[in-house]
């Protein structure tokens, strides 16, 4: 059996096993081990590669960024920072058409700049924003749709676990990826806000059940002092973490440490943390960190198996011979990612496609930081598309309202999926949106 055939069969086997429900890291490890065994015809070579990858993959201190930002996100969620951001945004934006929807987007953007986990955003704002919107006459489909749509900001606006994973897989600076995600994240949030206003103006029944905005949707007004008290922790965290990172005061790992320390202080000062909840946060941080570590180890094995098979070089020669050029390749790449997003989760997509596609992107001279931003946006669209749509399932399980079905949530996310596709095209054809804040955008 030729090495190329082994690599091709490994891809098919991987998709089938992931779709059957097996954990993606286990699939990567098993398929890669079997692939190396078949290519070299020696089980000891495959075993040695497995052991070497486990030692090399996460040996760098840079990997410390994962548990630190996960810990920050969980502490911030415990301290009700997302709820406070929503209350402030609600008051400031309540007079606009679709004001509660825009408030959800704005507060999700703030929450995203602290946590970096889309699923956490979906769970928090399902509990916080959906009941408020339903109480003030918003369409249930719109209420859950705007929460699902804006939750993807958690993986684009830094810090972002997907960007950390991309950084490890592509050997790019996590700090540069974080910086590159700021403007695209704000553009996406702005696109959502403009889209909500247009929907509320021209198709009001898509936003309001009665077709009209109810008055005083903001409820009780907050005083200036209350607004400052509620928003100050978010501002402090964003300025300290992202400001310090962008200004060059510390690395991404050090930024994670600063964020975790500040989040812990905020949770303690607000008396939201006791020994039981602290243990729960630390345990969950450990679970997520171990899961990501296992993914990176197994992805390293998979990358080495593909390199051994010659598949990446074969694809480079094939696509170069077809004369597609960078734009043609990028269109095919994005189409593949969007298609995979309908059947498997975000991390799985990165782990499967990047080892194959990064050499081709390098061959075409693409900037890998910009390529990472495009990849993350394309992958995150999969959180909203059926049948897999992970954010949709998180919202459904968190909401626990039998009146709102999975179909309702998917239909509610459709306008936001279209807005996201439009922003993706903008990022593809205007790379400077991703590179404008970088000090050395070349490469």
Predicted confidence (pLDDT) per residue in 128-161, tens digit? 888 888 888 889 999 999 998 888 888 888 778 8
Task: Give me the count of residues in the chain.
Answer: 443
The stretch 343-369 carries a mean pLDDT of 86
**Total-model pTM:** 0.81
Q: Residues 6 or more apart from 151 whose CB is under 8 A from it? A: 108, 118, 119, 121, 122, 125, 383, 391
Q: How far apart are CA 107 and CA 305, in angstroms?
A: 43
Most confident of 137-141, 189-193, 332-336, 357-361: 189-193
What integer best gives the mean pLDDT of the chain?
84
Question: Is pLDDT at 424 greater than 90 in this prediction?
Answer: yes
Band the pLDDT of 180: cuts 50, 70, 90. Answer: very high
pLDDT at position 217 is 46
* Tens digits of residue pLDDT in 7-47: 888 888 887 887 777 877 788 888 888 888 888 888 888 88
pLDDT at position 218 is 46
Q: How far apart are CA 122 and CA 16, in angstroms?
A: 28
* Tens digits of residue pLDDT in 101-122: 998 998 888 888 877 677 777 8
The stretch 214-231 carries a mean pLDDT of 73
Other beta carbons within 10 angstroms of residue 56's beta carbon come to: 12
Question: Is pLDDT at 426 greater than 90 in this prediction?
Answer: yes
The stretch 281-309 carries a mean pLDDT of 82
The answer to whether 145 and 399 have CB atoms below 8 angstroms apart is no
Q: Tell me phi and psi for residue 208, to 5 degrees.
A: -110, 140
The answer to whether 105 and 376 have CB atoms below 8 angstroms apart is no
């Amino acid at each position: 059996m030729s090495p190329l055939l082994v690599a091709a069969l490994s891809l098919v086997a991987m998709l089938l096993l992931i779709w059957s429900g097996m954990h993606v890291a286990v699939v990567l490890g098993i398929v890669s081990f079997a692939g190396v065994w078949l290519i070299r015809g020696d089980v000891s070579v495959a075993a040695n590669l497995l052991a070497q990858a486990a030692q090399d993959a996460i040996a760098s201190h840079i990997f410390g960024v994962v548990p630190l930002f996960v810990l920050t996100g969980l502490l911030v969620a415990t301290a009700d920072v997302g709820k406070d951001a929503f209350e402030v945004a609600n008051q400031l934006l309540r007079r606009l058409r679709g004001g509660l929807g825009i408030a959800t987007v704005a507060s999700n953007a703030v929450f995203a700049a602290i946590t970096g986990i889309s699923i956490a955003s979906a769970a928090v704002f399902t509990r916080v924003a959906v009941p408020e919107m339903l109480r003030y006459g918003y369409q249930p489909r719109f209420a859950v749709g705007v929460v699902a749509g804006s939750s993807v900001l958690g993986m684009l606006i830094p810090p972002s676990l997907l960007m950390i994973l991309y950084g490890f897989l592509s050997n790019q600076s996590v700090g540069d990826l974080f910086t590159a995600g700021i403007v695209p994240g704000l553009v996406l949030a702005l696109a959502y806000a403009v889209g909500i206003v247009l929907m509320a103006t021209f198709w009001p029944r898509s936003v309001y059940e009665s077709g009209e905005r109810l008055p005083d949707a903001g409820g009780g007004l907050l005083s200036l002092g209350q607004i400052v008290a509620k928003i100050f922790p978010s501002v402090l965290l964003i300025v300290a973490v992202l400001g310090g990172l962008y200004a060059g005061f510390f690395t991404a790992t050090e930024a994670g440490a600063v964020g975790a320390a500040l989040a812990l202080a905020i949770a303690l000062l607000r008396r939201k943390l006791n020994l039981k909840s602290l243990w729960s946060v630390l345990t969950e941080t450990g679970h997520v960190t171990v899961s990501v570590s296992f993914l990176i180890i197994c992805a390293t094995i998979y990358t080495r198996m593909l390199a051994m098979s010659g598949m990446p070089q074969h694809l480079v020669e094939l696509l170069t011979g077809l004369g597609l050029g960078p734009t043609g390749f990028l269109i095919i790449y994005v189409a593949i990612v969007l298609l995979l997003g309908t059947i498997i989760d975000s991390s799985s997509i990165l782990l499967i496609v990047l080892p194959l596609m990064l050499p081709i992107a390098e061959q075409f001279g693409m900037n890998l930081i910009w390529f990472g931003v495009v990849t993350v946006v394309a992958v995150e669209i999969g959180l909203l598309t059926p049948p897999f749509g992970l954010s949709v399932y998180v919202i459904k399980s968190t909401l626990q309202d039998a009146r709102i079905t999975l179909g309702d949530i998917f239909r509610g996310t459709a306008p936001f999926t279209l807005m996201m596709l439009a922003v993706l095209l903008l990022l593809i054809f205007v790379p400077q949106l991703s590179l404008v804040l970088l000090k050395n955008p070349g490469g």
